[in-house]
Amino acid sequence: MLEPWDSIRVRAAELRPGHWGTPEEVSIMAMPVRWAGNRKDATVILKEIAVQGPLTSKSGLVARLRRRSVGKLVSSVAIHSSFDPETHYLAAANIDKFFPNATEPWLFELNPNKNNEGLKARRYLFAPMEYLGRISIVKFTIKEYHKAENNLYSIEALELVQKNRTLVCDGVVPFGTPHPSR
């Protein structure tokens, strides 16, 4: 059964780091591999990622980051959809690291208020990302077309919140510190 199109953020708030694995696994998959602290840095990195070819999520969904979509991913509207601009730039710069860990826990119906011409579905995938010692969620929106390649349409950095306070994943090694297994 499809979830109502307007319940995406409500459902995303239910996610916890354990959704993706053990604390050690989440620590490794959530660690960024490159840094982008502003729009210019993120744009340069996204253009490099766009020419690498399609990305495949953990759940098997294949999508392409199109070079012409790069500007949209780091636009003012996109930045303000995330809880923090720096987190958004970091997520954008690491799309190729986080998307392969992304899962699609729910399927949502198409929003009837948007242009759905040619669309089979809008798919929403979620992956963990470490930022300042805490786990955040990267939400990917994929446009799945009837007769064309899937398009990585947007990203958002969502904050994990539990009862009005940020949830820190116990056992996750903060970014920049050596992992106990090394």
96-143 per-position pLDDT tens digit? 999 999 999 888 888 888 888 899 999 999 999 999 989 999 999 999
* CB-neighbour burial class of residue 177 (10 A; exposed 0-12, middle 13-18, buried 19+): exposed
Residue 161 predicted with pLDDT over 90: no
With bands split at pLDDT 50, 70 and 90, how would you rate the model's confidence at 168?
very low
The radius of gyration of the chain's CA atoms, rounded to the nearest angstrom, is: 16
Report pLDDT digits (tens) over 27-81.
999 999 999 999 999 999 999 999 999 999 998 999 999 999 999 999 999 999 9
Q: What pTM was estimated for this model as a whole?
A: 0.84
Q: Which residue has the higher pLDDT, 30 or 169?
A: 30
